[in-house]
Amino acid sequence: MSLPWLLLLLHPIFSYSFIYNTFKSNHHNPNLTLNGIADITSNGILKLTNVSTHTIGHGFYPDPILFKNPDTNKVVSFSTAFVFSIVPRYRKLGGHGLAFTIAPTKDFIGAQPSQYLGLVNVTLNGKASNHLLAVEFDTVQDFEFRDISDNHVGVNINRMKSVNSTNAGFFIDGNSTKQDLCLHSGKKIQAWIDYDADKHQLDVTLSIYSNKPSTPILSVPVDLSPTFQDYMYVGFSSSTGVLASSHYVYGWSFNMNEKAESLDLDLLPSLFQFKTNKKRFRIWFMASIISAFCIIVIIVAVYVTTKKFNNTEVAEYWEHDLGPHPYSYKELKEATKGFSHKMLLGFGGSGKVYKGVLPDSKMDIAVKRISRQSKHGEKEFLSEVSTIGRLRHRNLVQLLGWARNKGELLLVYDFMANGSLDKYIYSSNNPKKILTWDQRFKIIKDVSVGLLYLHEEWEQTVLHRDIKAGNVLLDSELKGRLADFGLAKLYDHGSNPITTGVVGTLGYLAPELTRTGKPTTRSDVYAFGALLLEVVCGRRPVEVKASPEELVLVDWIWDKWREGRLLEVVDARLQGVFNKSEVMVVLKVGLMCSSDEASVRPCMRQVIRYLEGKVPLPEKLGPSCDDAVKGGFVVEIKEFAPSLMKMKSV
Ligand SMILES: *[C@@H]1O[C@H](CO)[C@@H](O)[C@H](O)[C@H]1NC(C)=O
Ligand SMILES: *[C@@H]1O[C@H](CO)[C@@H](O)[C@H](O)[C@H]1NC(C)=O
State how far the alpha carbon of 458 is from the alpha carbons of 481, 493, 620, in Å.
16, 10, 32
In a domain, 633, yes or no: yes
Among 280-294, 482-496, 633-647, where is mean pLDDT lowest?
A: 633-647
400 and 504, same domain (yes or no): no
In ligand 2, the atom with minimum distance to the C-alpha of 218 is 5
Ligand 2 in reach of 218 Cβ (< 6 A): yes
Residues in the chain: 650
In this model, does residue 594 exceed pLDDT 50?
yes
92 and 168, same domain (yes or no): yes
Domain residue limits at 390: 310-414
User: 498 Cβ partners below 8 Å, 6+ apart?
Assistant: 143, 489, 491
pLDDT of residue 279: 56
CB-CB contact of 54 with 114 (8 Å): yes
Domain endpoint, select from 216, 247, 267: 267
pLDDT of residue 363: 86
User: How many whole angstroms from 133 Cα to the centroid of ligand 2?
Assistant: 18
605 and 500, same domain (yes or no): yes
Give pLDDT tens digits for 369-417. 876 554 555 565 666 666 667 778 899 988 888 787 776 778 888 899 9
Give pLDDT tens digits for 337-365. 999 988 988 776 567 889 999 888 888 99
pLDDT of residue 272: 65
Q: Which ligand is nearest to the CA of 48?
A: 1
DSSP state of 53: S
In a domain, 193, yes or no: yes
In this model, does residue 170 exceed pLDDT 90?
yes
* Burial class of residue 299 in the structure, from the number of CB atoms within 10 Å of its CB (0-12 exposed, 13-18 middle, 19+ buried): exposed
25 and 158, same domain (yes or no): yes
In this model, does residue 486 exceed pLDDT 90?
no
362 and 434, same domain (yes or no): no
pLDDT of residue 253: 96
In a domain, 572, yes or no: yes
State how far the alpha carbon of 2 is from the alpha carbons of 5, 8, 71, 81, in Å.
6, 10, 22, 37
In this model, does residue 425 exceed pLDDT 90?
no
Domain endpoint, select from 368, 396, 414: 414
pTM attached to this predicted model:
0.50
CA distance 84 to 181: 13
Q: Phi, psi at residue 241, to the nearest 5°?
A: -130, -135
CA distance 602 to 608: 10
Q: Which ligand is nearest to the CA of 244?
A: 1
User: How many whole angstroms from 378 Cα to the centroid of ligand 1?
Assistant: 28
DSSP codes, 332-350: HHHHTTTT-GGGEEEE-SS
- Mean local confidence (pLDDT), 553-564: 86
User: How many whole angstroms from 293 Cα to the centroid of ligand 1?
Assistant: 35
CA distance 57 to 41: 14
pLDDT of residue 288: 77
Q: Is 264 a catalytic residue?
A: no
pLDDT of residue 337: 92
Q: Other C-beta atoms within 10 Å of 405: how many?
A: 19
- Mean local confidence (pLDDT), 329-340: 90
pLDDT of residue 380: 58
Higher pLDDT, 399 or 6: 399
Ligand 2 in reach of 162 Cβ (< 6 A): no
pLDDT band, very low/low/confident/very high, at 627 (cuts 50, 70, 90): very low
In terms of phi and psi (left: phi > 0; alpha: psi -120 to 50; beta: otherwise), the region of 15 is alpha
Give pLDDT tens digits for 311-325. 333 333 333 333 446
Mutation to probe ligand 2, out of 146, 164, 204, 205 (largest number of atoms < 8 A from CB): 164
Provide the residue type at 166 as one letter: T
CA distance 542 to 144: 35
Output the domain CATH number for residue 438: 1.10.510.10
Domain endpoint, select from 414, 440, 455: 414
146 and 71, same domain (yes or no): yes
In ligand 1, the atom with minimum distance to the C-alpha of 50 is 1
pLDDT of residue 67: 95
Among 115-119, 122-126, 290-294, 627-631, where is mean pLDDT lowest?
A: 627-631
CA distance 526 to 163: 36
In this model, does residue 633 exceed pLDDT 60?
no
Residues facing 193 on adjacent strands:
80, 204
Provide the residue type at 621 as one letter: L
pLDDT band, very low/low/confident/very high, at 445 (cuts 50, 70, 90): very high
Ligand 1 in reach of 121 Cβ (< 6 A): no
pLDDT of residue 485: 65
Helix and strand totals (H; E) in the chain: 13, 29
Q: Which ligand is nearest to the CA of 220?
A: 2
DSSP codes, 438-497: HHHHHHHHHHHHHHHIIIIISSSEE-----SGGGEEE-TT--EEE---TT--EE-TTSPP
CB burial readout 113-140, b (16+ within 10 A) else e: bbbbbbbbbeebbeeeebbbbbbbbbbb
320 and 388, same domain (yes or no): yes
Provide the residue type at 31 as one letter: N
428 and 401, same domain (yes or no): no
Winning range, highest mean pLDDT, from 221-225, 457-461, 510-514: 221-225
Cα torsion 261, 265, 266, 268: sign: positive
Q: Phi, psi at residue 29, to the nearest 5°?
A: -130, 145
In a domain, 273, yes or no: no
376 and 484, same domain (yes or no): no
In a domain, 277, yes or no: no
Q: Which ligand is nearest to the CA of 153?
A: 2
In terms of phi and psi (left: phi > 0; alpha: psi -120 to 50; beta: otherwise), the region of 208 is alpha
- Residue closest to 84 by CA, chosen among 168, 170, 186: 186
Ligand 1 in reach of 41 Cβ (< 6 A): no
CA distance 347 to 369: 9
Largest CA distance in the chain: 104
* Burial class of residue 179 in the structure, from the number of CB atoms within 10 Å of its CB (0-12 exposed, 13-18 middle, 19+ buried): middle
CB-CB contact of 608 with 456 (8 Å): no
Percent of the chain with pLDDT over 70: 79
CB-CB contact of 326 with 401 (8 Å): yes
CB-CB contact of 24 with 265 (8 Å): no
In a domain, 292, yes or no: no
CA distance 451 to 458: 10
Ligand 1 in reach of 54 Cβ (< 6 A): no
pLDDT of residue 78: 97
407 and 431, same domain (yes or no): no
pLDDT of residue 587: 93
User: How many whole angstroms from 138 Cα to the centroid of ligand 2?
Assistant: 17
pLDDT of residue 246: 95
60 and 201, same domain (yes or no): yes
Residues facing 606 on adjacent strands:
none
Ligand 2 in reach of 219 Cβ (< 6 A): yes
Output the domain CATH number for residue 347: 3.30.200.20
CA distance 70 to 48: 34
pLDDT of residue 117: 96
pLDDT band, very low/low/confident/very high, at 328 (cuts 50, 70, 90): confident
User: How many whole angstroms from 219 Cα to the centroid of ligand 2?
Assistant: 7
Q: Other C-beta atoms within 10 Å of 22: how many?
A: 18
User: How many whole angstroms from 379 Cα to the centroid of ligand 2?
Assistant: 27
Query: Which residue among the candidates 138, 194, 414, 466 is catalytic per the annotation?
Result: 466
405 and 372, same domain (yes or no): yes
pLDDT of residue 57: 97
Ligand 1 in reach of 50 Cβ (< 6 A): yes
DSSP SS3 for 114: helix
Give pLDDT tens digits for 358-377. 888 888 999 988 765 545 55
Output the domain CATH number for residue 63: 2.60.120.200
Taking all residues of the chain, what is their mean pLDDT, rounded to a whole number?
Answer: 81
CA distance 48 to 245: 10
Ligand 2 in reach of 164 Cβ (< 6 A): yes
Cα torsion 338, 340, 346, 352: sign: positive
Q: Could you report how far apart the first and last alpha carbons of the chain are, in Å?
A: 88
In a domain, 61, yes or no: yes
Question: Number of structural domains, the chain?
Answer: 3
CB-CB contact of 114 with 239 (8 Å): yes
pLDDT band, very low/low/confident/very high, at 199 (cuts 50, 70, 90): very high
In this model, does residue 639 exceed pLDDT 80?
no
In a domain, 279, yes or no: no
Among 103-107, 147-151, 251-255, where is mean pLDDT lowest?
A: 147-151
